[in-house]
Amino acid sequence: MVAWKDLMELFRNKLGLIMLVLMPIFMMSMVGFIYPSDTSISVSVALVNEDEGYSNYTSASATFIMALEKLNNSTGMMAITDASSLDEVRDMIQRGDVEGGIVIASNFTSSLMSGKQGTITIVTDQSNPQMSTLLQTALKEVFEQMGTWLAQQNVQGLSPAVNASNSLAIVKPYSVQTEGAVPGHFSYFDFIAPGIMAMTVMMSVMTGLPAAVSHEREVGTLDGMMVAPINRLAIILGKTLAQTARGLLQGTLILILAVALFGVTIHGSILLVFALLLLGVFSFVGLGVVITSFAKDQETAMMLMMTLMFPMMFLSGVFFPIQQMPWYMQGVSKFLPLTYASTALRKVMVLGADIPAITTELTILIVFGIVMTAVALPVFKRAMTR
Amino acid sequence: MIEVRNLTKNFNGLTAVDHVSFDVKKGEVFGLLGPNGAGKTTTIRMLSTLTRPTEGKATVGGHDIVKDDNEVRKLIGLVSEKIIMYDRLTAKENLWFFGRLYNIPKEVLDKSIDELLALVQLSDWKDSQVGTFSSGMRQRMNVIRALLNMPEVLFLDEPTLGLDPQSSVEVREFVRKINRENKTTIIITTHMMIEADMLCDRIGIIDHGKIVALDTSTNLKKLVSGADTTILGLEIANLTTNMIASIQSLKCVNSLSQDNSTHIKVHANGDETFDTIIDAIRAEKGKINSVENLEPTLEDVFLHITGREVRDNADQKIPLREHRHFMPRRRVR
C-alpha cells in the first residue's frame, strides 16, 4: 500500500519524472565526454622540415614524413599542418592553432648519412599535459617504426645472409601485441556505464529513502501512517519497494541509453545485471534506514546523504579505476559496498562474467546487507517511537 | 473510555507534560484548553501512541497506550494540526490509501469514502488532487480521513487553526454532529476559548504542562462569578485617560482592560460596584453610551486561574524554519 501511494505520488510529479529521465542522460554524456577516449580525438600538429639534405639528397626526412603520414592515415590521430620554423610553431601553439609541433633538424639527412643520429624535436604545449602526453606517445611510435626501418636497412647492408623477411626479427626480436579478454572495441562508456548504473540504483535507495521519510515527517503525513494499526516495518518496507522500483527504472534507462546512444555492448546476461542491481539495493537499504532514523528533518537528511555520497561516488571506482588511486584511498574504497557492486556489474557487463566469477563481490554485498539491516531495524524501531 | 494517570513527557530536560491525570467518559467531548506550548499537542500525541510517555500511564478503551499500542490504534482517529494528506493524490486516492492501512475491506471502504465525501460536500472534488484544495476543504478532508475506521475515540489537535471564521464554524458543527450521531468520544485541543466553550462538555485548562482546572464550562465560569465578581462592558463616547485612571483607583475594581478608543471592560468585586463605577465616570463628565453586565467568558476564567491572559494573537505559530530560505545560498566551487 505504501509503495503504491509513493509511486502514484512520483508519477504525478511531472517535473520530478522528467528529471528522473534526464539525470542519467546528463550523467552519462557528461562523464562520458569529459574523459577522452584515445580514438575519438585528433591532435593538430605543425610539421617543420628544416632538413637541408646531404648533397641534394633529402630522402631521410622524406621517408620520415611518409612513415608519419602512413601511421596517421591508419589511426587518424593527428591533423598535420606545415610550418616554416621552430619559432613559428611556438607562435602557433601560443595562439592555440596547433597543440604540438615536430621539427626535423637541418642536418637530419647529413647526420644519418654520416653515421650519426638524426635529431627530431617535439614541441609540446605544457599547458595541456594530457595532449602533450598523447602527442609524445604517438610520435614515439613513429620514431620507433622509423628507427626499426632504418635499422633493417642497415642490417641488410651489413650482411648478405639477411634478407627483407628476417631483418625485422633481427632488429626487433620481440613483438608485443595487446588483446582484451573479450574481443571487441571498448570505450570509456563501457567502463563507466556499469558504475553509473550501480550508483544510481543504490543512491536512490540510500538517498531517496531518508528524503522521502523525513519529508513526510515534516509535512506531518507520517503521523497518518504511524497512527494506523500497521507494522512500523511495513511502512519502511513499502517505501523501500517504491524507491527500488524508481532506482531500477533509472538503471534500466541508463542501460538503454548506454546501448542506444553510446554504443555500449553487454557481454554478460541481462538477468544477472538486474539481479546484481537488486542485491545492491538490498545491501544499501540498511544504510538508508539508519540515515532515515537519525535525520529528524529533510535538511539534516540531505547533509548526511551528501557527506556519504561524495566519497562513495569518487572512491568506489565508478568514474576512475580504483587501481589508479593511492594505496590509502584504495583502502578506503575497500569498505564501500558500492565498490563491489560496480566491480561485479562491470565484470558481468564488460567481461561477460557469470556467477562463479563474482562470488567474492556477491558474498561481500550479501554480508554487508545483512549486517546493515541487523543494525538498522532496532535503530529504526527506536527512532519511530520517540 | 480514557484514563490518564500522571502522564509525563520530558524533551531533553524540558518538561512538556507534567504529571497530568484526567478521565474521559464514553461519548463525551473533552477539551484541552491552553496557550501554545502548554503541552496539549504532546498529550494528544502520547494518547494516540505517536510519542512514548517518559512517566505515568494511560489507557484508551482499556488498552495501555504503550503495551497495547496497536489495539489503541484500531480504536482511534487523529486529526492533527498538520494536514495529513498527499497533495499529489486525489481526494479519493488519499482516503483509499489511509483506509487500506486499516485493512478495511474494499467494498466497505469504497462506500464509506463516498459517504464521507458527501458528508463534507466534497463529492464533486473526489477526483481532484488535494494540492489544489483551499485550506477549508483540506481541513474537512483531514477530518474525514480520521473517520475512515469509524473510531471510537477521535483526537482533534487544533482543528480550526488557520481557518477563516466560516470554515471554522463548519468544522465545529461537523465535530458536534459526529459526536451526536456516532456517539464518538472526542478529545479536542484548542487555544481558542470560544471553541472550547461551544464544543466541550468538560474542559481541562492546561498551562505549563499541568492541568490547572477541570470542569464543565458553566462550573469553570462560576469560579469567577461565584466570588461575586461583576464584569461590566462600558462604552463611553469621550473616554479619557483620566477617566480610566479614576476608575482603576476605585477600591472595588480588580482590573480594567481597554478594547478600543471608547470601550472598556471592568472587573469589580463587592456590593454596589455598579453605582460606584457609574458615579466615578459621571464625576469625570463621561458620556455613557451603553452598559453591559457581562457573563464571564473562559478568557476570564483563564485569567482568574493563571493570572495571565491567553496569548490569543498567537493564532499561527511563528514559522521560524522558513527563515532559512531567505539566506543566500553559498556557491559551491
User: Residue B140 above 80 pLDDT?
Assistant: yes
- Residue A296 within any structural domain of the chain: yes
Residue in chain B lying closest to A10 (CA): B88
One DSSP character per residue, A279-327 reads: HHHHHHHHHHHHHHHH--SHHHHHHHHHHHHHHHHHHTTSSS-GGGS-H
Chain A closest CA to B89's CA: distance in Å?
6
CATH number of the CATH domain containing B301: 3.30.70.100
pLDDT of the residue at B330: 45
Residue B100: which of A1, A219, A221 has the nearest Cβ? A1
Asked if A227 and B73 come within 8 Å (Cβ–Cβ), the reply is yes
> Best residue in A227, A296, A310 to probe B by mutation, most B CBs within 10 Å?
A227
- Residue A178 within any structural domain of the chain: no
Residue in chain A lying closest to B76 (CA): A227
- Residue A176 within any structural domain of the chain: no
CATH number of the CATH domain containing A93: 3.40.1710.10
Asked if B82 and A219 come within 8 Å (Cβ–Cβ), the reply is yes
Task: Band the pLDDT of B329: cuts 50, 70, 90.
Answer: very low
Task: Band the pLDDT of A171: cuts 50, 70, 90.
Answer: low
User: Residue B46 above 70 pLDDT?
Assistant: yes
Q: Are residues A242 and A380 in the same domain?
A: yes
The letter for the amino acid at B263 is: H
- Residue B85 within any structural domain of the chain: yes
Q: Are residues A209 and A80 in the same domain?
A: no
* CB-based contact, A385 to chain B, within 8 Å: yes
Classify residue A162 by its DSSP letter: -
pLDDT of the residue at A177: 66
Of A114, A146, A171, the domain-final residue: A171
Residue pairs between chains A and B whose CB atoms are closer than 8 Å: 66
Q: State pLDDT tens for residues B232-269.
A: 888 888 888 888 888 888 877 777 778 777 888 887 77
* CB-based contact, A172 to chain B, within 8 Å: no
Of B194, B216, B238, the domain-final residue: B216
Q: Are residues A286 and A331 in the same domain?
A: yes
- What span, in angstroms and rounded, lies between the C-alpha atoms of A340 and A35? 23
- Report the length, in residues, of chain B: 333
Q: Are residues A27 and A48 in the same domain?
A: no
pLDDT of the residue at A298: 74
Q: Are residues A235 and A279 in the same domain?
A: yes
Q: What is the mean pLDDT of residues A303-316?
A: 78
Q: What is the mean pLDDT of residues A22-45?
A: 64
Q: What is the mean pLDDT of residues B310-315?
A: 43
Q: Which domain holds residue A150?
A: 43-171
pLDDT of the residue at B323: 39
Q: What is the mean pLDDT of residues B215-230?
A: 75
Q: State pLDDT tens for residues A320-363.
A: 777 777 778 777 777 777 888 888 888 887 777 777 878 888 88
Asked if B93 and A385 come within 8 Å (Cβ–Cβ), the reply is no
Task: Lay out the sheet containing B210-216: strands in order across.
Answer: B76-79, B153-157, B185-190, B29-33, B202-207, B210-216
Asked if B88 and A13 come within 8 Å (Cβ–Cβ), the reply is yes
Of B157, B183, B216, the domain-final residue: B216
Residue B89: which of A9, A219, A229 has the nearest Cβ? A9
- Residue A201 within any structural domain of the chain: yes
pLDDT of the residue at A186: 61
Q: Are residues A165 and A193 in the same domain?
A: no
pLDDT of the residue at B316: 38
Chain A closest CA to B5's CA: distance in Å?
20
Contacts A298 to B, Cβ<8 Å: none
What nine digits make up the cell of B39? 503541552
Q: Are residues B86 and B135 in the same domain?
A: yes
Residue A8: which of B81, B89, B324 has the nearest Cβ? B89
User: Residue B328 above 50 pLDDT?
Assistant: no
Q: Are residues B129 and B75 in the same domain?
A: yes
- Residue A177 within any structural domain of the chain: no
Of B319 and B286, the one with more pLDDT: B286
Asked if A220 and B81 come within 8 Å (Cβ–Cβ), the reply is yes
Q: Where are the beta strands (DSSP E) in chain B?
A: 2-11, 14-24, 29-33, 55-60, 63-64, 76-79, 153-157, 185-190, 202-207, 210-216, 229-236, 253-258, 263-269, 288-294
State how many domains chain A has: 2
Q: Are residues A219 and A202 in the same domain?
A: yes
Q: State pLDDT tens for residues A14-24.
A: 666 676 677 76
Asked if A8 and B88 come within 8 Å (Cβ–Cβ), the reply is yes
Cα→Cα distances A122→A108, A125, A151, A230, A345, Å = 14, 10, 22, 74, 42
How much of chain A, in percent, has pLDDT values that exceed 90? Answer: 0
Q: Which domain holds residue B65?
A: 2-216
Q: Are residues A369 and A284 in the same domain?
A: yes
Specify the pairing of strand A43-49 against strand A78-83: parallel
Q: Residue-wise over A186-201: b if at least 16 C-beta within 10 A, else e?
A: ebbbbbbbbbbbbbbb
Contacts A224 to B, Cβ<8 Å: 78, 80, 84, 98, 145
Q: State pLDDT tens for residues A95-104.
A: 877 877 888 8
- What span, in angstroms and rounded, lies between the C-alpha atoms of A213 and A87? 66
Residue A227: which of B48, B97, B324 has the nearest Cβ? B48
Q: Are residues B187 and B277 in the same domain?
A: no
Task: Band the pLDDT of A160: cuts 50, 70, 90.
Answer: low
- The phi and psi torsions of B27 (rounded to 5 degrees) equal 80, 5
Q: Is residue A1 a contact partner of residue A238, using CB atoms and an 8 Å limit?
A: yes
pLDDT of the residue at A34: 61
Interface of B with A (CB under 8 A): 48-52, 70-71, 73-74, 76-78, 80-86, 88-89, 93, 97-98, 100-103, 129, 145, 149, 324
Of A143, A171, A199, the domain-final residue: A171
Q: Is residue A60 a contact partner of residue A113, using CB atoms and an 8 Å limit?
A: yes
User: Residue B187 above 90 pLDDT?
Assistant: yes
Q: Are residues B128 and B159 in the same domain?
A: yes
Cα→Cα distances B306→B106, B150, B192, B323, Å = 51, 38, 16, 33
- Residue B316 within any structural domain of the chain: no
pLDDT of the residue at B155: 92
What nine digits make up the cell of A175? 613483438
pLDDT of the residue at B319: 39
> Best residue in B68, B79, B81, B82 to probe A by mutation, most A CBs within 10 Å?
B82
Our CA angle for B282, B287, B291, nearest 5°, is 90
Average pLDDT, chain B: 82
Asked if B83 and A8 come within 8 Å (Cβ–Cβ), the reply is no
Most confident stretch, A139-148, A176-185, B54-63, B162-171 = B54-63
- Residue B266 within any structural domain of the chain: yes
- Residue A25 within any structural domain of the chain: yes
Cα dihedral across residues B85, B90, B94, B95: positive or negative: positive
pLDDT of the residue at B24: 92
Q: What is the mean pLDDT of residues A83-88?
A: 82
* CB-based contact, A232 to chain B, within 8 Å: no
Residue B50: which of A219, A223, A229 has the nearest Cβ? A223
Residue A228: which of B93, B102, B324 has the nearest Cβ? B102
Of A121, A141, A171, the domain-final residue: A171
Q: What is the mean pLDDT of residues A32-37?
A: 58
Most confident stretch, A166-180, A326-340, B311-325 = A326-340
- Residue B317 within any structural domain of the chain: no
* Ranges A96-100, A172-176, A347-351, A364-368: which has the least confidence: A172-176
User: Residue A278 above 80 pLDDT?
Assistant: yes
Average pLDDT, chain A: 76
Q: Which residues, other chains included, contact B322 with Cβ-Cβ below 8 Å and sequence gap of 6+?
A: none
Our CA angle for B291, B295, B297, nearest 5°, is 120
Contacts A5 to B, Cβ<8 Å: 86, 89, 93, 97
Q: Are residues A228 and A154 in the same domain?
A: no
Contacts B149 to A, Cβ<8 Å: 228
Q: Are residues B161 and B241 in the same domain?
A: no
pLDDT of the residue at A16: 65
Asked if A5 and B49 come within 8 Å (Cβ–Cβ), the reply is no
SS (H, E, C) B221-252: HHHHHCCCEEEEEEEECCCCHHHHHHHHCCCC
Nearest to A123 by CA among A88, A73, A147: A88
Q: Where are the beta strands (DSSP E) in chain A?
A: 43-49, 78-83, 100-104, 120-124
pLDDT of the residue at A12: 66
pLDDT of the residue at A69: 78
Chain A closest CA to B74's CA: distance in Å?
6
pLDDT of the residue at B322: 38
Asked if A5 and B52 come within 8 Å (Cβ–Cβ), the reply is no
Q: What is the mean pLDDT of residues A306-330?
A: 77
Q: Are residues A17 and A72 in the same domain?
A: no
State how many domains chain B has: 2
Residue A224: which of B71, B81, B98 has the nearest Cβ? B98
Complex confidence, ipTM: 0.71
Chain A closest CA to B119's CA: distance in Å?
21
